[in-house]
Amino acid sequence: MERNGSSRSLKRNILAVVTAVSWANLVAIAVAFNSAEYASALDKSLLFYDVQRSGKLPPWQRIKWRADSALDDGKAEKMNLTGGYYDAGDNVKFGLPMAFSITLLAWNVVEFGDNLQYTGQLQNLLNNIRWGTDYLLRCYSDSEELWVQVGEPNADHQCWERPEDMDTPRTAYKIDSDNPGSDVAAETAAAFAAASMAFRRADVAYSNTLILSARRIFNFADNYRGKYSDSLAGAVCPFYCSYSGYKDELVWGAAWLYKATRLDLYLQYLITNANSLGGATVTVNAFNWDNKYAGAQLLVAQEILTGTQGLQQGYKDRADGYICQVLPSSISPASTTTYTPGGLLYQTDGSNMQAVTTAAFLLTNYARSLATAKKTIQCGGSQITPAQLTTVAQNQVDYILGNNPKKMSYMVGFGSKYPTQPHHRASSLPSTSALSQKIGCGQGFTYYSSKNPNPNLAMGAIVGGPDKNDNFNDVRSNYAALEPTTYINAPIVGILAVLATNRTSTTTTTASAQLPIALQRF
């Protein structure tokens, strides 16, 4: 959808002079798309999880070209490991990025629950979260055992098959006390804790189950420290190695457990380990499936802004540092992030949109907290207002949706021009309803090499995106630009809900109130 540059400049100029404004005003300023368009994008962003769903599909499945798949996952290990999500365009279930996706989806409910309710999308999002947490609960089969992957990625990547046709090995991998994985275990604890808050009003019993599991698995993560990619290097690397280590996930998990329980145990954990785990000392400029420091630091910074006592100022300083580094240099003298000529945040040549959507989410989230506290932040001597954070975040969302030099939406199915050849097996092969015969491992590459558009729409998928010069080559083999992932989509949900409703979030799902007394006994 074409939008002229003059309106963009006017929007920036208006927002630049705003120094103190309520969150309602922050989201009420001129937008590149109307509320109905943002609402459509929100709906599509959630439909992508239907595309990625593994297992026996539920009756509420909305994407109908997908069918049941991977129904024997875990059978060889005498476990039921069906369900969950495929991470991207392949057919492996990787536990670390899946748990991160679920944490972020739940965080959207925690922060923007009323916006989601107002759009009518809250139940769809809760369905998507629960599909993930049900699977993760099955994976947590013992207090010191967590199944973290199903599928052989090297074998899988040698094939181009529909999930419904998979005949590559579905080996399941686990961590335990002898083979630790603090990173994936603490991330799973974060997912359970965040989801417990998301379900607190919708399903109290389920919420309680999740928080108890979160507490137990966090203990496991903390007591048996180690990187899961050291324990399972041959299975998870180079696909989802834990490059950042596990300390960031321990901070992240503890921050979520404190937010969800308000128990002094987790507050003291954050205070005692502020330096040793890096939460109050490490500044990063990226937030992704591997490195959780920025998200954890922002969670703690929000606590500091609301007056929680005892937490080191270093957490907030590091959160501010992330924000200062991802803002454009025209706003923040401390910026370390490149922006394309068309205005897209650019940090990596592969799946860059993950950096974009996570940054937009954290900017939006932090702007809300700062506005409520009537605070600004300092970046290299410049005062940065909540309004400036909001406009940068919104500009990134608008770029994704089509307000860019190519006039192309990078969300499949949104607008009149979007990628037609996502690097995605299920989307690029005929559905089982269109072609009932099995498509074999090698046979599928005929479709991979085709210049035709994918026969099935991977609705709502946000692809990896354009290069640093805003160029985009819509060719299926260009996986860095064309492969969508669950964790690219997850952060954008809440922002779209805010833009669709054009109203402040006063969600009650954040549940600052204590859990029932019985749950505080462990």
Structure tokens at 512: 């600052």
Say if residues 323 and 384 touch (Cβ distance below 8 Å).
yes
Cα–Cα distance, 199 to 331 (Å, whole number): 38
Mean pLDDT, residues 32-41 taken together: 95
Domains detected in the chain: 35-47+66-403+485-501 (1.50.10.10)
pTM of model > 0.85: yes
Say if residues 386 and 21 touch (Cβ distance below 8 Å).
yes
Cα–Cα distance, 137 to 208 (Å, whole number): 13
Which segment of 3-12, 68-77, 204-213, 327-336 scores lowest on mean pLDDT?
3-12
Whole-angstrom Cα Rg for the chain? 22
Q: Supply the pLDDT for residue 318.
A: 98
Buried residues in 221-236 as b, exposed as e (16+ CB within 10 A): bbebbbbbbbbbeebb
Task: Tell which residue, 191, 246, 188, has the closest CA to residue 217.
Answer: 188
Residue 27 has pLDDT above 60, yes or no: no
Say if residues 86 and 163 touch (Cβ distance below 8 Å).
yes
Cα–Cα distance, 489 to 105 (Å, whole number): 9
Structure tokens at 392: 């940068």
Mean pLDDT, residues 244-260 taken together: 98
Q: How many CA atoms lie less than 13 Å away from 131 in the CB half-sphere?
A: 27
Residue 518 has pLDDT above 50, yes or no: no
Q: Supply the pLDDT for residue 502.
A: 82
Q: Supply the pLDDT for residue 31.
A: 59
Query: Max CA-CA distance within the chain?
Result: 65
Q: Supply the pLDDT for residue 32.
A: 83
Q: Supply the pLDDT for residue 393.
A: 97
Residue 169 has pLDDT above 50, yes or no: yes
Cα–Cα distance, 101 to 128 (Å, whole number): 10
HEC secondary structure over 418-454: CCCCCCCHHHHCCCCCCCCCCCCCCCCHHHHCCCCCC
Residue 8 has pLDDT above 90, yes or no: no
Give the alpha-carbon dihedral of 484, 488, 494, 497, to 10 degrees: -30
Query: In terms of DSSP H, where are the helices of 262-402?
Result: 264-272, 293-305, 313-326, 353-373, 386-401
DSSP 8-state secondary structure symbol assigned to residue 175:
E
Residue 493 has pLDDT above 80, yes or no: yes
Q: Supply the pLDDT for residue 22.
A: 37
Cα–Cα distance, 491 to 46 (Å, whole number): 11
SS3 69: strand
Say if residues 254 and 269 touch (Cβ distance below 8 Å).
yes
Residue 3 has pLDDT above 80, yes or no: no
* Chain segment 261-315, per-residue pLDDT in tens: 999 999 999 999 999 999 999 999 999 999 999 999 999 999 999 999 999 999 9
Q: What is the mean pLDDT of the chain?
A: 91
Cα–Cα distance, 309 to 288 (Å, whole number): 29
Catalytic positions, please? Answer: 423, 474, 483
* Chain segment 222-240, per-residue pLDDT in tens: 999 999 999 998 899 999 9
Q: How many helices (H) and strands (E) does the chain have?
A: 21, 7
Distances (CA, A) of 247 to 78, 227, 300, 462: 32, 9, 15, 29
Mean pLDDT, residues 348-368 taken together: 97
HEC secondary structure over 177-192: CCCCCHHHHHHHHHHH
Tokens 């809900």 label which residue?
497
What percent of the chain has a predicted confidence (pLDDT) above 70? 90
Residue 407 has pLDDT above 60, yes or no: yes
